[in-house]
Structure 1
Amino acid sequence: MKSIKTSLIAGIAAVTVAAPAVAADLPPPMIYKAPVVVDTGGWYLRGDIGFSNQKVEELTSPAYTPAVTVLKKEVDSAAFGGIGFGYQFNNWFRVDVTGEYRGGAAFRGLDSYGAGSNDYWGTKSEWLFLGNAYLDLGTWWCVTPFIGAGIGYSRNTISNWRDINNQTGATAYADTNSQWEFAWALHAGLAYKVTNNFTAEFAYRYVNLGDFATTDMIGFNGANAAYNPIYLNGVTSHDFKLALRWSLSPSEPFAVAAPAYAPPPPAYNPPPPVYSPPPPLMRKG
């Protein structure tokens, strides 16, 4: 009987001592902190290339009479390229200033005045300078849609201008002429973040370039009987372009805290059991 009691007490003590040791060997629970969004910001450089699709609203001249009807006023597409710099205030608003050269686009016009008609030929080009503001509308899988608007000035140039009378063959010419015009633009596109400091974007832009004008046209013999420059009024363009942006002060768009580990609970070490021998059995007389 004594040995059974002793074994039972020893077994309970062993289990009690071993339980905390087993618990101490288990991996501690892992606690993850939620990602913290950090606004991006800083200066950036940009480069743009694209092509234009232009339209002339009105073709006029001081020499026109009510009998003159404009039959054609077409402008070919042309390539353009530019550079700029800007500042990203946060992850939804940025501004930049751009300057670009818009290559020569061929212009063809035709008018009629009853018994006769005139063909017009020339080349138009522009230097366009804009201050732009954009709203970035959120980012999904590194893609950010955006919209924007810009205002500025365009230096509009007409060169290689000639006017051919289709009935007589008489030809008149105009010298190269440039003028500054107020310009404005609307933007929309998608930006793809390739790396932390490099973004590519594909965008559409509607731009109003203002008016163009030739100088007074002079005949091939140097004679001119009337003041007759030609005006291209309300020139607009639907532009499609590819832009590359380089951040000069890159920062992580998301700061994610490293997983934190909770410290293991302190191991409980109970005091060793104190063995008290049972009292001696009393024998009866």
Structure 2
Amino acid sequence: MAIARISTLAAALGASLLMPVCAFAADLAEQPYVEPLPVATGGWYLRGDIGYKFYNSPNIAFVTPTYTDPWNNTSLDNTWMLGAGVGYKFNDYFRADATVDYEFNAGAYGEGYCGGCGGLGYSIETADISAWTMLLNGYIDLGTYAGLTPYVGAGIGTSYLETSNISYINPNGVTGTWNGAGQWNFAWALMAGASYAITPNTALDLSYRYLNLGDAVSGYIPAGGGGTIQYNNIDANEIRLGLRYSFY
């Protein structure tokens, strides 16, 4: 009899303990499913760059209304550049930015025929050329491998090329200077590189860029019938190191 009572009490106690557990389990089963928010893969970023430019030899000539005198042994010195920009990453594969770069003075050199020197030879002609470049760029990121994200890109925009310190030395020893001038051009670029995320919001960027800047021109020169020195087809190969800071 006592054993029967104890069994009955134990069964009742067990049932009372299981009831809230079952009710809680039922409540859990009835909870609506909430989809997790997607991880952000796009947003705004800032960038800054420093680079070194290897200029190709431009075509330089003294141009008048009646004739053109192409120069020999032309060259344009290598120089440094600084840049900054703002961009937007649309997804894991495409981003775009607008950039402004300043290219420091590069020394131009050429040898022009000296018509008033009695056939003694060529004049040594020099000048400094600086550049501002403003481009709208697009990039395709090619995936991330061991922390590195390689990419390719292209850009179009405008450049402002300014000449200064234009001078000459004739073969007879006569020297002189001419005024410089500025000129706007269409500019374009092709680039390839790789970035590495050093923090969740900061990436180190190493890249190569080919940049076509257009043409530069001197001020008006009254000698030789009157004309200008034209520095045509100015382009460069660049090695650039930059940082990108993202806000996503």
TM norm. shorter chain > 0.5: yes
- Between Structure 1 and Structure 2, the one with more strand by share is 2
What are the within-5 Å matches in structure 2 for residues 28-107 of structure 1? 38=39, 40-63=41-64, 70-107=71-108
**Matched residue type, 1:101:** Y
* Residue number in structure 2 paired with 1:226: 225
Equivalent-residue separation in structure 1 for 2:179 and 2:130 (angstroms):
14
2:91 is paired with a residue of what secondary structure?
A: coil
Change (3 A) 1:42 1:143: same
Deviations 1:192-213 (A, max 9, x none): 1111100011000000000000
Any conservation in 2 of the 1:72–1:111 contact (CA below 8 Å)?
Answer: no
What are the within-5 Å matches in structure 2 for residues 254-269 of structure 1? none
* Residue number in structure 2 paired with 1:210: 214
2:225 is paired with a residue of what secondary structure?
A: coil
Corresponding residue to 1:129 among 130, 134, 137: 134
Residue 229 of structure 1, CA deviation: 1.5
Name structure 1 gaps, 5 residues minimum: 1-36, 219-223, 250-285
* Residue number in structure 1 paired with 2:155: 150
What are the within-5 Å matches in structure 2 for residues 169-208 of structure 1? 169-208=173-212
Equivalent-residue separation in structure 2 for 1:109 and 1:70 (angstroms):
6
Residue 128 of structure 1, CA deviation: 0.6
What are the within-5 Å matches in structure 2 for residues 265-280 of structure 1? none
**Matched residue type, 1:57:** P
Equivalent-residue separation in structure 2 for 1:44 and 1:76 (angstroms):
33
Root mean square deviation of aligned Cα: 1.9
1:53 is paired with a residue of what secondary structure?
A: strand
* Residue number in structure 2 paired with 1:248: 247
Bigger-Rg structure (1/2): 1
* Residue number in structure 2 paired with 1:270: none
Equivalent-residue separation in structure 2 for 1:157 and 1:203 (angstroms):
26
2:173 is paired with a residue of what secondary structure?
A: coil
* Residue number in structure 2 paired with 1:269: none
Change (3 A) 1:81 1:169: same
Residue 59 of structure 1, CA deviation: 1.2
Equivalent-residue separation in structure 2 for 1:181 and 1:200 (angstroms):
31
**Matched residue type, 1:212:** A
Please give the TM-score of this superposition, normalised by the length of structure 1. Answer: 0.68
Any conservation in 2 of the 1:56–1:233 contact (CA below 8 Å)?
Answer: no
* Residue number in structure 2 paired with 1:221: none
Residue 38 of structure 1, CA deviation: 4.9
Please give the TM-score of this superposition, normalised by the length of structure 2. Answer: 0.78
Equivalent-residue separation in structure 2 for 1:247 and 1:239 (angstroms):
24
* Residue number in structure 2 paired with 1:24: none
**Matched residue type, 1:108:** Y
Name structure 2 gaps, 5 residues minimum: 1-37
Which is bigger in relative contact order (C-alpha 8 A, separation at least 6)? 1
Change (3 A) 1:153 1:69: closer
